[in-house]
Structure 1
Amino acid sequence: MSRKIKLLWDFRGEDGKETAKHHTIHLREFANLEKLNFHEIDIVEINPMLSSAFIIVDEINMKTFRDALKPHRGEIAE
C-alpha cells in the first residue's frame, strides 16, 4: 500500500483563511482536469493569521501535483 502525502500551501494575514478556501477550488479543478485521484482537499487554520490549503494524494501521484502546483511544503499524511 502506498503512502499518502499531504501537500500544503500557506496563506498569511487577515485574509489568509479566505484565500486558503479559494485555493482549494483551484486544487480541485486541477485534479479533475488532469483526471488525478486525491483523498482530501481542505484547509487548516493554524492561527487567525495563518491558514493552509492542502491536498492529500497517493505518493505515486505526488510529483505530478508538486511539479505543477509548487506547494510550499509537504508531509506524510496520517
Structure 2
Amino acid sequence: MQLNSNNILRVLTKAFFIGALLVMSQPEVTNAQGVFPSLGGSRSGTSGFQFLKINVDARSSALGGSNVADAMDGSALL
C-alpha cells in the first residue's frame, strides 16, 4: 500500500470517525436527583412564577384548589 495523500486522508478520516463513535458510545452517569430538591412532585413555581400556584377564583380556593367540570364562568378555561 502506497502512502500518498489520499490514503493518509482516508486512514485519518476512519480513525476520527471510529474515535468519535467510541467517545459517543460511552455511558454518562447523571444524578439529577441531587440538583433539584424533591418538593412532593410539584415543580410549578419553584423559583419564579409563584403566581401559578394561586387559585383562580374564590370557589376553587374554598374547595381546596379543585374545580368541577361544570364550571360556567371564566375559571372553566383554566
Query: Normalised by the shorter chain, which TM-score bucket?
Result: under 0.3
| Bigger Rg over Cα | 2
Q: RCO higher in 1 or 2 (8 Å CA, sep ≥ 6)?
A: 1
TM-score for the superposition, normalised by structure 2: 0.26
Higher helix share: 2
Higher strand share: 1
